[in-house]
């Protein structure tokens, strides 16, 4: 049993305040008189009107004060008793217990979620405070909106992940019999279509998925890969408010009429941002969640959780807190949580986008094992399909709202070669000097004495593996809060006020949506205009970066959208436009190409070149972007810096093309 | 009877029970003298019992993953705000979240959010005491009340099809007007709710806080008028002029500054029961 002394301390404090207040009331409202020594003989002041029975003050005696304090003791004791109960009983265990059975399941589950959201909320507030500082915003009121937006997004992702794991199922369908398992297709689509708000997203889909096969779903960002996966697990029809036409059957069940929660025993699903979907506080609880809500009793549950964790090589993580996982570990835990109920069909949405090479190998090996040894049919959505080529047995290719099925990998992409970066001019005007920049986190050195220069109009890449310290280096430059010197146009940025610093150096963080504070793109642009009064209005800069005409109807329509409803590429361009508003000499961009398909990457690359006002060495600015994508760096940067083991060094000065 | 009717009945009964628990000092004079001694204990038991009734009825209503997840994360936000603001007087800014969520997702959702927010923040902070059930219920009423306020529709002239640019602009400004009107209504409600919340929290606690032997003490046998006057004076000096006023001002300012954006964020989540 644990003892939580803090609760008792708080109760003692509250009880003391209660007693003191009682004494004050007695003194003010004529009740502190009586036996004992007369301390103070205040005059009695009678009140009039409806308060005629009340008189203020009056004599104060030691006996009167003592009686007042003693009379408050019984209630003070009740307060202490509550404190003691709170100190001894671990309420969280009660909620966890109540969330799996009993008449208060929904409320208990909400309490568990609230409990596990609290630390994530604190993290979000810290991150957003930093983002607000990068945008030059002060005050906590500006923070509340993005915290709120992010929290709602978390709620929806969480709800979806609970739904596909069988939460609140009324008539759950049992897993199919082993005989059917070997023969029948796990998914059959016949002239199926998905549409939302009257707009068709996908149509004319006809294909089948057989057990024990590996299928890769390819297509550019925004083509409808996630919609198709959600059409199969039922979230599209029963959670997102979309509509289905034609026929979709999953393990023989009609998807149009059966919500995801009823099919959790044989359909597993892993969403894109797995961390948002975690519903519990520890790895063990998370993997066991589906079993708990599907009513699998102990000790079978514990055994299944252990076996599933072993299968995915994460047995050693079982007692870890869910927020202490790396990106690769989090993906494996999410897969484990989806397969613990032994589904016949597993849907995984872009599992590799956030991972480095080592983690990618672990995840793909785990998925291969599920297909080969356990007969699960796996469908993975991915725009970097090359990564899955060795595994894939069937390809689904989305193109213009249609799905093409083939046994062969898609034809090699004809990547349009981007505009070649101009070779570095001989005598560039040097704009920024970085000297001896070092960053340490929790005593560990992340960046050690970085030193480099940036010239006007040049586009420089900062490359390195996940966790190499690229983001830390960029943040330290933009916030001027680390050891070392950053000189921009002759000014030491550490000596400038935040507003002045933004005119020298600005950073677009990796999660660009952290910069957004408004509910429409137009309002976001106006806010930037008010704060930084740029020479060119921000919405015009936004159009320019997108390569659009500022007055065109399509651009006007874009301005009315919610910033978070924009595509990833458009969000990045909006963030660039906002951070370009103060006309900084140096623009830093963190991972601009992460998770983007080739076409969007090209758009972003061109936007970065426009931001640098490429080819104008006099008026141009320096743009430094961090990326772990070597191809992107090669295509757009004229010069590359590489960060490894905390050390920064120049990679080949001139880029061979 | 349908389940919705049962829930409404349970909510009404629970609220009535709880109200009796809150107003016990005024109701006790109606019972025989020897029963009056038991009144405070009955009150302390009534409110938790009412919470149980309402929670049991509403739990079934909230059986969708979306509602449960939204309840959880919004309660975490509310609790965070309440704990962060504890140094400056407790339940100030949390009203903003409660009122907006109650408005966006309806009275039943709001009711549960009020209950859960206070429960979570009290448990996290350690400020768990005999007053917690009362606070839970009072906050639940505040959030539910916002959901019961009349719906405000944008009055769009002409057809619904925004074929011409003029019609689109007119529709847009009508929507904006309706939005402003809604915030104005919520702000007015926020002021009323702030003071009523103070009065409710004072009335049941008043006999405990002051005890016997002062001129504003609760006297079981005294005429109702005297007791009401004593209570009015107690409430005035204890919270109406101070905490309640701060709360009303915070709520109005918060709703005016953040209301439209937060309401839009809540409505983007498209909870089926939302409006």
Q: What distance, in Å, lies between the first and last C-alpha atoms of chain A?
A: 67
Mean pLDDT of A539-560: 86
Three-state secondary structure of A437-466: EEEEECCEEEEEEEEEEEECCCEEEEECCC
A31 touches chain B (CB under 8 A): yes
Q: pLDDT tens-digit profile of A353-403?
A: 777 777 888 888 989 999 988 889 999 998 777 778 888 899 999 988 899
Measured between its terminal Cα atoms, the distance across chain B in Å is: 25
pLDDT (0 to 100) of residue A159: 86
- From residue A14, alpha-carbon distances to A65, B22, B242 in Å are 19, 21, 19
**B261: nearest CB among A79, A112, A519:** A519
Other Cβ atoms within 10 Å of A653 Cβ, number: 9
Closest CA to A415 of A598, A259, A292, A635: A598
Q: Helix, strand, or coil here: A637?
A: coil
With contacts defined as CB-CB under 8 Å, which chain A residues touch B58?
Answer: 107
Convert A274-285 to b/e letters by CB count within 10 Å (16 or more is b). bbbbbbbbbbbb
* Interface test with chain B among A32, A94, A106, by most B beta carbons within 10 Å: A106
Is the complex ipTM more than 0.90?
no
- Do the chains contact at A14 and B56, CB–CB below 8 Å? no
Tokens of B252: 């109005």
User: Strands A586-590, A505-508: parallel, antiparallel or unpaired by DSSP?
Assistant: parallel
pLDDT classification of A657: cutoffs 50, 70, 90? very low
Q: What is the pLDDT of residues A451-462, one digit of tens each?
A: 898 888 888 999
Is A548 part of a structural domain of the chain? yes
Lowest-pLDDT range of A48-57, A157-166, B239-248? A48-57
Helix A327-339 and helix A283-293: axis angle, to 10°?
A: 20
A625 versus A145: which is more confidently predicted?
A625
CA distance A484 to B157: 63
For residue B65, which residues of chain A lie inside 8 Å, CB to CB?
Answer: 159-160, 162-163, 167-168, 239, 261
- Are B131 and B201 in contact, with CB atoms under 8 Å apart? yes
Is A629 among the domain residues? yes
What is the distance in angstroms between the Cα of A67 and the nearest Cα belonging to chain B? 10
Percent of chain B with pLDDT over 70: 86
Joined together, the tokens standing for residue A485 give 């010197």
- Are B15 and B58 in contact by the 8 Å Cβ rule? The answer is no
Distance from CA of A106 to the nearest CA of B (A): 6
- Tell whether A12 is covered by a domain: yes
Query: To which residue do tokens 């057989």 refer?
Result: A210
Count of CB atoms within 10 A of residue A107's CB?
A: 24
**DSSP tally for chain A: helices H, then strands E:** 21, 22
Q: Which domain holds residue A53?
A: 5-89
Q: How far apart are CA A293 and CA A106, in angstroms?
A: 11
Q: Do B129 and A68 touch (CB under 8 A)?
A: no
A-chain CB neighbours of B57 within 8 Å are none
Distance CA A474, CA A457 (A): 18
Beta carbon pairs, A and B, within 8 Å: 217
- Note whether B59 contacts A159, CB cutoff 8 Å: no
Q: How close is the nearest chain B Cα to the Cα of A620, in Å?
A: 37
3-state helix, strand, coil in chain A (%, to 5): 45, 20, 35
Q: ω before A299 within 30° of 0 (cis)?
A: yes
Chain A 497-536, residues with CB within 8 Å of chain B CB atoms: 518-519
Winning range, highest mean pLDDT, from A14-28, A103-117, A304-318: A304-318
Of the partner residues B230, B233, B268, the one whose CB lies closest to the CB of residue A152: B268
pLDDT at A343 over 80: yes
**A110 touches B: beta carbon within 8 Å:** yes
pLDDT at A654 over 70: no
Report which of A600, A656, A517, A267 is spatially closest to residue B261, judged by C-alpha positions. Answer: A517
pLDDT at position A655: 44
CA distances from A258 to A189, A249, B189 (A): 15, 10, 42
Identify the helix (H) or strand (E) that includes residue A289.
Answer: helix A283-293
Average pLDDT of chain A to the nearest whole number: 83
Q: Does A167 touch chain B (CB under 8 A)?
A: yes
**Pairing of β A394-399 and β A402-406:** antiparallel
Point out the residue among B55, B124, B128 whose CB comes nearest to the CB of A104.
Answer: B55
* CA-closest candidate to residue B206, choices A30, A74, A80, A21: A21
For residue A342, how many C-alpha atoms fall within 13 Å in the half-sphere facing its CB? 14
- Output the six-digit token pair for A179: 């005989």
Q: Does pLDDT of B274 surpass 50?
A: no
- The position carrying tokens 């408010």 is A241
- Within-domain flag for A290: no
Q: What is the pLDDT of residue A275?
A: 86
What is the pLDDT averaged over residues B160-180? 71
Cβ neighbours of B208 in A, within 8 Å? 75
3-state secondary structure string, A325-375?
A: CCHHHHHHHHHHHHHCCCCCEEEEECCCCCCCHHHHHHHHHHHHHHHHHHC
Mean pLDDT within B59-66 = 76
Name the residue in chain A with its Cα closest to that of B225.
Answer: A50
Chain B residues within an 8 Å CB radius of A561? none
Query: Which range (A90-94, A620-624, B163-167) has the least confidence?
Result: B163-167
The yes-or-no verdict on residue B169 having pLDDT over 80 is no
Q: Measured between alpha carbons, how far is B212 from A329 in angstroms, rounded to an integer?
A: 63
- Domain boundaries in chain B? 3-268
Token digits of residue B51: 């919470």
Q: Inter-chain contact A162–B65, Cβ cutoff 8 Å? A: yes
Contact B116 A114 (CB under 8 A): yes
Distance CA B109, CA B148 (A): 11
Model pLDDT, residue A424: 52
Spatial separation of the C-alpha atoms in residues B72 and B49, rounded to whole Å? 23
pLDDT band, very low/low/confident/very high, at A656 (cuts 50, 70, 90): very low
Residue A590 maps to a domain: yes
Residue in chain A closest to B71 (alpha carbons) equals A110
Task: Judge whether A191 and A246 are in contact, CB under 8 Å.
Answer: yes
Q: In whole angstroms, what separates CA B259 from the centre of its chain?
A: 17
Interface test with B, best of A15, A25, A521 (most B CBs within 10 A): A25
- Best mutation target, B58, B63, B76, to test chain A (most A CBs within 10 A): B76
* Strands A377-381 and A345-349, sheet pairing: parallel
Region of residue B106 (phi > 0: left; psi between -120 and 50: alpha; otherwise: beta): left
Q: Which residues of B touch A160 (CB under 8 A)?
A: 65
Write out the E strands in A418-522. Answer: 430-441, 444-455, 459-463, 483-488, 491-492, 505-508
H or E element, residue A504: helix A498-504
Tokens representing A131? 């983002």
Q: Rounded to a whole number, what is the distance in Å from the CA of A52 to chain B's nearest CA?
A: 9
- Burial status of residue A554 (CB atoms within 10 A of its CB: 0-12, 13-18, 19 or more): exposed
Which residues on adjacent β-strands are paired with residue A403? A398
Cβ-based contacts of B175 with chain A (< 8 Å): none
Q: What is the DSSP letter of A219?
A: -
Q: Among residues of chain A, what percentage have pLDDT more than 70?
A: 92
B179/chain A closest Cα distance in angstroms:
14
Looking at residue A176, what is its pLDDT? 57
User: Residue B74, exposed/middle/buried by CB under 10 A (0-12, 13-18, 19+)?
Assistant: buried
Give A391's Cβ-side CA count (13 Å radius).
25
A271 part of a folded domain:
no
- Token pair of A126 as six digits: 């810290």
**Binary contact (A141, B258; C-beta < 8 A):** yes
By Cβ distance, the residue of A21, A103, A117 closest to B72 is A117
Residue A524, H or E segment: helix A521-532
Closest partner CB to A104 (pick from B59, B67, B76)? B59
Is residue A14 a part of any domain in this protein?
Answer: yes
- Determine contact, residues B79/B120, Cβ cutoff 8 Å: yes
Contact B80 A122 (CB under 8 A): yes
Counted domains in chain A = 2
Q: Which residue has the higher pLDDT, B36 or A381?
A: A381
- Domain assignment of residue A447, yes or no: yes
Taking the whole predicted model, whether its pTM rises above 0.80 is answered as no
Separation CA B10–CA B70 (nearest Å): 23
Q: Pinpoint the alpha helices (H) of chain B.
A: 3-22, 24-27, 33-36, 39-61, 65-84, 94-105, 107-125, 132-148, 165-210, 224-235, 243-268
- Domain holding A564: CATH number? 3.40.50.300
Q: Judged by CB atoms within 8 Å, which residues 35-54 of A form the interface with B? A: 47, 50-51, 53-54
What is the per-residue pLDDT across A210-225, written as a single tens digit (0 to 9) for each? 999 999 999 877 788 9
**What are A473-510's pLDDT values in tens digits?**
998 898 888 888 888 888 888 888 888 888 899 999 88
B63 or A536, which is more confident: A536
- What angle do helix axes B132-148 and B165-210 make, rounded to 10 degrees? 150
Separation CA A311–CA A604 (nearest Å): 40
Chain A: give the shortest CA distance to residue B149, in Å.
Answer: 23
């Amino acid at each position: 049993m644990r003892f939580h002394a803090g609760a008792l301390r708080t109760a003692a404090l509250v009880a003391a305040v209660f007693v003191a207040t009682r004494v004050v009331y007695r003194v003010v409202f004529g009740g502190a008189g009586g036996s004992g020594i007369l301390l103070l003989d205040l005059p009695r002041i009678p009140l009039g009107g409806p308060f005629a029975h009340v008189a203020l003050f009056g004599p104060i005696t030691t006996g009167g004060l003592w009686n007042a304090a003693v009379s408050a003791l019984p209630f003070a004791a009740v307060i202490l008793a509550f404190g003691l109960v709170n100190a001894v009983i671990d309420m969280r265990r009660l909620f966890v217990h109540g969330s799996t059975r009993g008449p208060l399941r929904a409320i208990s589950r909400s309490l568990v979620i609230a409990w596990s959201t609290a630390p994530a909320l604190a993290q979000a507030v810290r991150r957003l405070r930093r983002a607000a500082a990068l945008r030059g915003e002060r005050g906590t009121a500006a923070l509340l909106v993005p915290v709120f937006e992010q929290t709602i997004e978390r709620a929806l992702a969480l709800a979806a992940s609970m739904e596909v794991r069988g939460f609140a199922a009324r008539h759950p369908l049992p897993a199919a019999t082993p005989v059917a398992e070997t023969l029948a297709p796990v998914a059959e689509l016949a002239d199926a279509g998905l549409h939302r708000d009257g707009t068709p997203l996908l149509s004319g889909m006809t294909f089948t998925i057989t057990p024990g096969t590996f299928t890769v779903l390819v297509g550019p960002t925004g083509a409808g890969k996630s919609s198709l996966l959600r059409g199969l697990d039922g979230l599209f029809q029963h959670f997102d408010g979309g509509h289905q036409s034609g026929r979709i059957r999953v393990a023989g069940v009609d998807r149009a009429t059966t919500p995801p929660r009823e099919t959790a025993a044989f359909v597993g699903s892993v969403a894109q941002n797995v961390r948002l979907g975690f519903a519990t506080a520890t790895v063990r609880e998370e993997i066991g969640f589906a079993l708990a809500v599907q009513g699998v009793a102990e000790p079978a549950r514990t055994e299944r959780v252990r076996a599933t964790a072993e299968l995915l090589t994460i047995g050693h993580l079982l007692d870890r807190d869910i927020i202490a996982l790396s990106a690769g570990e989090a993906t494996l835990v999410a897969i484990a949580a989806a397969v613990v109920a032994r589904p016949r069909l597993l849907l995984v949405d872009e599992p590799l986008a956030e991972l480095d090479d080592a983690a990618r190998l672990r995840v793909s090996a785990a998925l291969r094992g599920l297909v080969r040894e356990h007969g699960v049919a796996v469908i993975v959505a991915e725009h970097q399909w090359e990564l899955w080529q060795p595994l894939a047995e069937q390809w689904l290719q989305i193109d213009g709202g249609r799905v093409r099925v083939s046994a062969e990998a898609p034809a090699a992409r004809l990547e349009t070669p981007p505009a070649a970066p101009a070779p570095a001019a001989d005598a560039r005007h040097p704009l920024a000097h970085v000297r001896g920049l070092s960053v340490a986190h929790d005593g560990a050195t992340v960046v050690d004495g970085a030193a480099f220069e940036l010239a006007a109009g040049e586009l420089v890449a900062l490359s390195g593996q996940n966790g190499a310290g690229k983001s830390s280096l960029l943040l330290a430059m933009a916030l001027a809060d680390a050891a070392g010197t950053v000189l921009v146009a002759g000014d030491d940025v550490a000596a400038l006020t935040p507003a002045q610093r933004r005119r020298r150096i600005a950073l677009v963080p990796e999660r660009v949506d952290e910069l957004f504070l408004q509910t429409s793109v137009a309002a976001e642009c106006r806010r930037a205009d008010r704060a930084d009064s740029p020479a060119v209005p921000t919405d015009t800069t936004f159009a320019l970066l997108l390569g659009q005409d500022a007055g065109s109807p399509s651009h006007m329509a874009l301005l009315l959208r919610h910033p978070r409803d924009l595509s990833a590429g458009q969000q990045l361009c909006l963030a660039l436009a906002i951070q370009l508003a103060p006309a900084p000499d140096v623009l830093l961009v963190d991972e601009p190409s992460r998770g983007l398909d080739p076409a969007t990457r090209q758009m972003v690359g061109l936007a970065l070149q426009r931001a640098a006002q490429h080819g104008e060495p006099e008026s141009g600015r320096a743009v430094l972007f961090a990326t772990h994508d070597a191809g992107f760096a090669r295509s757009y940067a004229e010069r590359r810096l590489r960060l490894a083991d905390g050390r920064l060094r120049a990679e080949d000065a001139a880029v061979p093309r | 009877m349908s389940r919705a009717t049962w829930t409404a009945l349970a909510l009404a009964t629970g609220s009535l029970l709880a109200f009796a628990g809150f107003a016990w000092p005024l109701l006790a004079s109606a019972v025989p003298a020897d029963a009056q001694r038991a009144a405070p204990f009955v009150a302390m038991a009534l409110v938790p019992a009412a919470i149980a009734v309402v929670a049991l009825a509403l739990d079934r209503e909230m059986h969708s993953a979306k509602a449960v997840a939204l309840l959880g994360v919004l309660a975490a936000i509310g609790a965070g705000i309440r704990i962060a603001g504890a140094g400056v007087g407790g339940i100030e800014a949390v009203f903003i979240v409660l009122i907006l969520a109650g408005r966006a997702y309806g009275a039943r959702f709001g009711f549960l959010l009020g209950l859960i927010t206070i429960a979570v923040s009290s448990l996290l902070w350690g400020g768990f005491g005999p007053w917690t059930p009362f606070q839970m219920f009072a906050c639940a009423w505040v959030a539910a009340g916002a959901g019961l306020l009349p719906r405000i529709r944008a009055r769009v002239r002409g057809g619904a099809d925004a074929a011409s640019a003029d019609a689109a602009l007119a529709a847009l400004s009508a929507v904006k007007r309706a939005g402003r009107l809604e915030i104005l209504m919520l702000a007015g409600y926020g002021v009323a709710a702030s003071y009523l919340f103070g009065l409710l929290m004072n009335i049941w606690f008043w006999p405990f806080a002051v005890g016997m032997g002062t001129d504003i003490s609760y006297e079981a046998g005294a005429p109702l008028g005297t007791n009401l006057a004593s209570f009015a004076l107690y409430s005035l000096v204890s919270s109406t002029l101070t905490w309640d006023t701060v709360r009303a001002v915070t709520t109005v300012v918060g709703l005016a500054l953040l209301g439209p954006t937060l309401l839009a964020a809540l409505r983007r989540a498209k909870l089926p029961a939302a409006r």
